[in-house]
Every structure is written in structure tokens, then in C-alpha cells.
Structure 1
């Protein structure tokens, strides 16, 4: 199975408790994090809160159905893959799913192997292309979640550390000058060159010495290849 799946956060929206818990348990063995919701309204709120990489939803649910929730998600994110699970096979439902921008439609009862294959395909083709970029040997950056990954493990970073890494990733392979780093990371604050050097050393202690290249007297960059 695609090893990239273990880096993903998945939102599963299903109103039937037994199905929700059963599928959730199976998914926890495959994905980094599985978030459960019991209707479209709760699903939309959890999407806004957790910003998952992929959404898997039933259609017929109380309060808000899966397609209305998917439409709400599309207003927030055009790129997040959405897989619909449903017993429906009527033309109207399929057409509405297409209008909403559903990436995959799977008819119940659900074959978990088929579901994982669909997620694996979307992870490779859509999520990887849109959100996760390789930034060096063993390193990747999730642009939507703004997370640095080393050898498939997320590296915890402070807000300022993340701002620094983000600007280097945005300008991958290009030198980012000290002044731009100051203006981006320490907005409106005064910071000394010594404090910046200490800051960079702390990041290197977390991520390893090979990722961030220093150009003495000028700034820093991330090379695309080591």
C-alpha cells in the first residue's frame, strides 16, 4: 500500500455508528489520523477545524447530507479530495455529485480494499501534486498543512520556525536574504544577527544540518538536491 497514506489525516463522515466505528478502526491502522463525524454539519465544522487531507462521506445523513457538506467544503477548498460512499445509484445523485466536484463515488456495501486503492490513487495524483513537495533527500513539505516531514515523520516546529521554513520552501533552490527573513519571520520586531544565528542553529538541531544551506553574509536557502 502507498506509504504516503500514513502521513494523511482523513475525515470520515457517516451517520450509522457501527459502520463509522468499524471503518474508523480499519483506517486508523493505515492513516496518520482519522477524524469521525456523524452528519454533514459536524463534518463541515471538523473540516474547518482540522483541515484534513481527504474527506470520505456518506450521502444520506440527518441535519446535512454528504453532498451539501461537500458543496460547503468546496467553497473552502477546491483541491481537497472527496470520496462519496452511498447506497444510491440513481442518476440524479450521481449528477449532483459531479456538480459538487466529487473525486470518487463508491457504492455500498463498501469494500475497504477498493476504498484504500481509491485513496492511494488520489494521494499520489491529487494530494501529492497539490500539497506535498519533495524538498531534498528524505524531506518533504505539506503546503496545505504547512508541515515539514523527514523520512515520513512530521517535525514539530514553532510558529517562527515554520514561517522561516515556509519562505525557504516557497523560494526553493533560491537564496533568501537576511532582510527578507527578518521581515517575514519577525514582523514588526527588532532582531539581531546573533539571535538569527541562534534561531537557525535551533532549527538545524531539529531537522538536521543538511537541509538549510547558509550563504555567509547574505542569507539561507534549501537546495533541491543534496
Structure 2
């Protein structure tokens, strides 16, 4: 397993069932979480729901194609890498992919070893360009090491706590709803509102009560104006 990919979530959007299943099986051994979708419309909904670190998509799909989806994703989060797969080689599609801002364009059939290497390069490039984030006064987040730092000291966080803080940082200053927190932190698990409150209290004990702000009945956000 790649050290670069092992803590990341990937969204695979592919309408061919066998290809999607094969990619899911391979990626499950490399990424922390693997989410799949069958078309661009479903892919965009799952992007908004799960907030993945990398998106891999086919182009020609029913309902909504991969480039249309990629355009909407880049409008939401321009720093999220989008890798496009296609059996097509027309100049028009390549130019449109460039206009949309996709990070890589890979032709089918796919060599999985080369593909994983490409994903590592894409992930590494993203990490290097957005390495240290100033979160709030006295707080920074190192995206390479995936650690929260307060006044120069690393704060030890569990995997779920890190997923929670990482989500709030990706939406820095904005409200993150309870449902999105559940979907990202407790992937595939059932969790009660009471359990979430207890969890957040434990996080606050570590990071500071004022750092994570509660919006009653809705969700949480990071107070960037500390």
C-alpha cells in the first residue's frame, strides 16, 4: 500500500460494471475509502456527500458525462484532483478536458500499475502545493503529515477525530452538517446524535473548546476568528 494514498478517499465514476468493480477491488487495497458511482450525476452527488480527496472518472456515460461532472467538481473544489479515463482520442475531447481543468487524461485500456503510479503523482502534487494550512490563530494543519498543530505542538488525534477535523478544514469557516459528518467520519456505520456530541466533546478537549464551534441542530464549523 502506498504511504501517499493510504489515508485518502477516492471516488470512482464509471458506467461499465466490470471495469468499475475491477477498479474498486484494486483501489480498496490502496486507499482508506473507495466510493463508486455509475454516471456523472450520481458521481457529483457522491462528491458533495463524501468529499473525496481524488476523483477518477470515465467520460462517456449516461445521464451526465464525466467532463460535465468534472466541471461542477472544480467549481466546488478547484484543488481536488480529477483524473479522466477514456477510450476516445478526439482532439475536441482533449481540449474540453483541458478547459475543464482536469489534472490527468488517461487512455483506456488501463495498466493498473501505471495508473496507481499516476494517482500517487497526482496526490503528491496536491499535497505539495497545499501542504501547510493556516487554520486559525495559533493553529495550522500539515496535510503531508495529516496533523493539527497548536502553538507549534502536534495534537494527537485518532483516525475518526482526524477525519472530522480534516473535513472541517476542507470547509474552513463554513458550516458542515451532521449528515456530512456522519458520512465522512463513520463511513458505512450507524451513529446516533448523542454519540456524535460525545465524540465532538472529546475532540474539543484535545483541540480547545473555542476551535470547533457548534451550530445547534445543524452541525459544526471551525471558528477562524479565534
Band the TM-score falls in, shorter-chain normalisation: 0.5 to 0.7
1:145 paired with 2:186, answer no
Tell me how far apart the structure 2 counterparts of residues 63 and 75 of structure 1 sit (CA, whole Å). 20
**Structure 1 position 113, deviation (Å):** 1.1
* Structure 2 gaps, min length 5: 132-142, 148-152, 170-184, 186-195, 217-226
**Structure 1 position 95, deviation (Å):** 0.7
The TM-score, its normalising length taken from structure 2, stands at: 0.64
**Structure 1 position 162, deviation (Å):** 4.2
Tell me how far apart the structure 2 counterparts of residues 60 and 186 of structure 1 sit (CA, whole Å). 43
Give the structure with higher Rg (CA).
1
Show the counterpart of 1:42: 42
Distance 1:92 1:137, change over 3 A: same
Distance 1:64 1:186, change over 3 A: closer
The TM-score, its normalising length taken from structure 1, stands at: 0.64
Tell me how far apart the structure 1 counterparts of residues 96 and 215 of structure 2 sit (CA, whole Å). 48
* Structure 1 gaps, min length 5: 148-153, 169-180, 190-226
**Structure 1 position 44, deviation (Å):** 0.3
Show the counterpart of 2:190: none
Distance 1:108 1:182, change over 3 A: closer
Show the counterpart of 1:60: 60
Q: Secondary structure at the match of 1:102?
A: coil
* Alignment root-mean-square deviation, CA: 3.1
Could you list the structure 1 runs, at least 4 aligned residues long, displaced by more than 3 angstroms after superposition.
133-144, 160-165, 181-189
**Structure 1 position 122, deviation (Å):** 1.6
Show the counterpart of 1:89: 89
